[in-house]
Chain A
Amino acid sequence: MKRKSKCLLFSILAIGIVTIALIAPYITYYDSNKQDLMNALQPPSKEHLFGTDRYGRDMFLRVLVGARCSVFSTLLLVFLSSVFGTTIGMICGYFEGIVDTVIMKLSDVFLSIPGMVFALAVAGVLGGGIANAVFALLLISWPKYARLARSQVLSEKRNTYVDAAILSGSNTIQIIFIHILPNIFGMVVTTALLDIGTMMMELAGLSFLGLGAMPPTAEWGLMMSSGRSMIQTSPWVILAPGFAIFITVSIFNLLGDSYRDWMDVRHKEKGSTSK
């Protein structure tokens, strides 16, 4: 019960962040890209809660608006890689044979190259832009889900409920998506939730290196990168987005952890009742 409430708490916090990201551009009092050079590099004050950057833009506003780019890109990335990876993995696991061998060898190739290095190369070739960065990270993250889904399907498909489904006349698609998927769904969601934090860091990393979001977009990694040279003179410029990344990544990681714990308990409970 305690675990469930913990999970609920972090879910509320995560939903809070997503809501902020969603509505930020509409509740802010002026354009977050609007420059005001007369007010450049003002320290935090009542007027500017997190101070201003070198172009005189309000940092609080930019951190809020930046949530949209940073959080949604990450969620989109995790959603795409988990859906794509899981689908591929389930097909491989169910059919096995030559398709399975080819796709798994391919995923081995992707897994053998250090993730960030590969993403850097892809983003470098495609050029800057948040869409390209998402694509680069998608390429390195799908094999993990494919492997997970495949191994789960391999064990699930030997269960009697699958035989029952076959006997009742279900076709392959129905068996995979209606009967097997719900049984491995929890595992995939746990992995995806735990992945959000990592992906957010990697996306911010690419932006920091100039391969993700492009100026003047408010994106946390990019904001940290452009404030890098001011860490000694105007630290708020780099601390505000850094803190935002820290908070958001922590919340999503804790959500993933608590969800996993809760799922474990449920599994055990289920196991004991079936016995």
Chain B
Amino acid sequence: MKQKIISLGLFVCILCILTGCSRKSEEEAKKEKIFRYGTTAYGPEMGNAGLNPHENYSGWSTIRYGVGETLFQFDESMRLMPWLAVDYEQIDEYTIKINLRENVYFTSGRKMDGEAVKECLEDLIAKHDQAPSDLQIETILAKGQTITLQSKEKVPALLNYLCDPYAAIIDMEYGVTQDKNVAGTGPFVAKKVSDQEIELEKNTKYWGGEVKMDKVIVKSITDGDTLAMALQSGEIDAAQGLPYASLSLFVDNQKYKISSTDTSRTFFAAMNFKTKELQDKNVRKAIAMGIDKEGFTNVLLNGNGTKAKGPFPASFTFGDNEVSALDYEPEKAKALLAEAGWKDMDLDGYVEKDGEKLTIRWLTYPGRQELPLLAEAAQATLKDIGIAVVVNSTANHMDFIESGDWDVYASAFVTAPTGDPAYFFTTHTLKDSAKNRGQYYNETLEGLAKQLKVEFDVRKRSNLAIQMQRTILEDAAFFFASHLRMSFVMKNSVIGFEAHPSDYYEITANLDIE
């Protein structure tokens, strides 16, 4: 009996000790600050899985999640600011010298100097698909904490291009691991990288000061509704990419707050100039005047965007304040159609010419939740002016683009990712543009583009961009519906997590949980 009492006592003692231990480790865990972030914008579908900036769009993940940094960055007004660089010197129109920040170390332990930056940029030019044609770099000279870049052609927007996430500076000696991890200079170090999740730990030796979070977990949650529920259940602390319809759950809710910003991501449509009916400017104008952009932006996007006139939002000096576009005026649109010879002869509600009904094949894709909404809204309002719209919203939209089976192609595009206007025009509107799907051609525009290519003066570049926008809008070659307003929704306790107009910067050293 005595033995039993002793063993019972011992057992209770051991139990108490063990409970004490576990309580202690629980306390430790509580002290560790963890930020869980759910996003629809990470993963193979977006082309940005992994952290290797020299592969496809993965640089966006390197920069967004605080692993890497670029030489220059944008501030809230999209102005250039030094980041890993301290300043620069334009030696001549082809040569630029960049002075690098002292005392910056990669998370691999190596010092960031001219040689390291040179190695990184050389690898970028050798491997990336877009960077070589943007940067046009011929030689890179490294000396101590400076690098000198010499380009093949005049590249007025070179520094802007160096802000692109593909130009994130990483340690090439450390290289890229099998799971696509890299050593950058940012406030966080990636510990685990997969296509679905990135686990980050704080960089204790970060050059920019104390990093407030101990751990960050970035989760790819592609379904918007799942994301909303994960935030409601507390499984994640913040979310990006919530459906517009779900945002109202978090507005005016004490437990959550929202950080929003206007971006240069624009929802727009290109007209196919190969379609006979669309070669008539009046028909193109009638389409532009037959779509209710305001209703689309205010109701279908729940006000999470601004009505667009041209490709750039009003925050840019060459933005929407400087141009005018056709507004939603159904009666005028009908008159334009009548002028072009399209009339409803058989009173079926649709206009005809030479016995043929005016039918528009509207091609778009469901990957961006806004696009099918735009298609369905346009289908209804264009019906009112007598145009029949057949919507084809499909993930394999590129096949249809190639086969030419479309009349209007609606898509989303970041029109000025580097803060410079040239990008949109060179990619979408010129004779040789890779994304000029509708084969639009205007000689005046080509001439203006040539001037823009070699112009260094920022104000003159702006003026040229304004003239170019007026040209394409006058031709009604494109129709710009709305600029996206991007929102991060987070628990009220999260601080330092702000949406940035460039859409590049998300997790920074300032991120904290109270």
Binding site for B on A (CB under 8 A): 33-35, 37-38, 40, 54-56, 210, 214-216, 228-234
Contacts and interface: CB of A to CB of B under 8 A. Distances in A.
A54 B292 CA distance: 15
B258 interface: no
Contacts of A34: 380
A40 B244 CA distance: 14
B249 A233 contact: yes
State the main secondary structure of chain A at its contact with B: loop
B178 interface: no
B246 A233 contact: yes
Interface in B216-246: 224-225, 228, 243, 245-246
19 contacts: A33-B383, A35-B380, A37-B292, A37-B295, A37-B299, A37-B300, A38-B299, A40-B300, A54-B245, A55-B380, A215-B372, A215-B379, A215-B391, A216-B376, A216-B379, A216-B380, A229-B224, A231-B225, A233-B248
A51 to B, nearest CB: 14
B376 A229 contact: no
B252 to A, nearest CB: 13
State the main secondary structure of chain B at its contact with A: helix
A39 to B, nearest CB: 9
B292 to A, nearest CB: 7
Interface of B: 224-225, 228, 243, 245-246, 248-249, 292, 295, 298-300, 366, 372-373, 376-377, 379-381, 383, 391
B395 to A, nearest CB: 10
A56 B299 CA distance: 9
Contacts of A55: 300, 376-377, 380
A232 B246 contact: yes
B164 to A, nearest CB: 33
A216 B292 CA distance: 17
Given A37-B300, A38-B299, A215-B379, 18 more contacts: A33-B380, A34-B380, A35-B380, A37-B292, A37-B298, A37-B377, A40-B300, A54-B245, A54-B299, A54-B373, A55-B300, A215-B376, A216-B380, A228-B225, A229-B224, A229-B243, A233-B245, A234-B245
A115 to B, nearest CB: 25
B204 to A, nearest CB: 41
A238 to B, nearest CB: 11
A73 B79 CA distance: 58
A40 to B, nearest CB: 5
Contacts of B300: 37, 40, 54-55
A54 B366 CA distance: 17
B305 to A, nearest CB: 14
B391 A232 contact: no
B270 to A, nearest CB: 22
A38 B295 CA distance: 8
Contacts of B391: 214-215
